[in-house]
Amino acid sequence: MTSDDTLSPVDALAQLAFLVHGVLERRATEADLSISQMRLLGILRDREPTMNELGARMVLDKSSISGLVDRAERRGLVVRVPSSTDRRSVRVRMTDAGRELTHRVERGFDADVLALLAGISPAEQSALVSGATALISAEARARAALADAG
């Protein structure tokens, strides 16, 4: 691609998604994690969801989320803990080992993304962040409106 080429919005977003996903996948692979396991650990950084909440957030059915948590639990990255509010419910918590691995992958991923951003001007970086933030916020509002209507 030359500097004169301008991508369509669809192509630009798709290629950016592929680029960032590739960087994350490489870092996850280095840590012997799948992208799904990396997503799981990312979600668990600041919350302890129930298995049902985790499945809904990751858009996975009950058996798939159970298998994903089982594999992470066998590696010592997460534990299942009884819910303090519902005896029938189980929450998923990241272990110290999971947190350390997540931090290590995040540090490498952050460095990789910052290296990508170094190739564009500060004004372009700001525009990218503003546009991405606006798009993510609009999608979240639309999702919330659908949930409220349903």
DSSP of 24-37: HHHHHHHTT--HHH
Q: Where are the alpha helices (DSSP H) in 31-95?
A: 35-44, 51-58, 62-74
Q: What's the predicted TM-score (pTM) here?
A: 0.81
Residues facing residue 133 across a β-bridge: none
Query: What pLDDT sits at residue 1?
Result: 56
The ranges of the chain with pLDDT < 70 are 1-4
5 is written with which tokens?
Answer: 């080429």
* CB < 8 Å & 24+ apart, contacts of 32-36: 33/101, 33/105, 36/60, 36/68
The rounded distance, in Å, linking the Cα atoms of 27 and 109 is 6
Query: What pLDDT sits at residue 5?
Result: 80
Check if the beta carbon of residue 82 is closer than 8 Å to that of residue 58: no
The rounded distance, in Å, linking the Cα atoms of 56 and 43 is 12
Query: What pLDDT sits at residue 123?
Result: 97
Query: What pLDDT sits at residue 2?
Result: 52
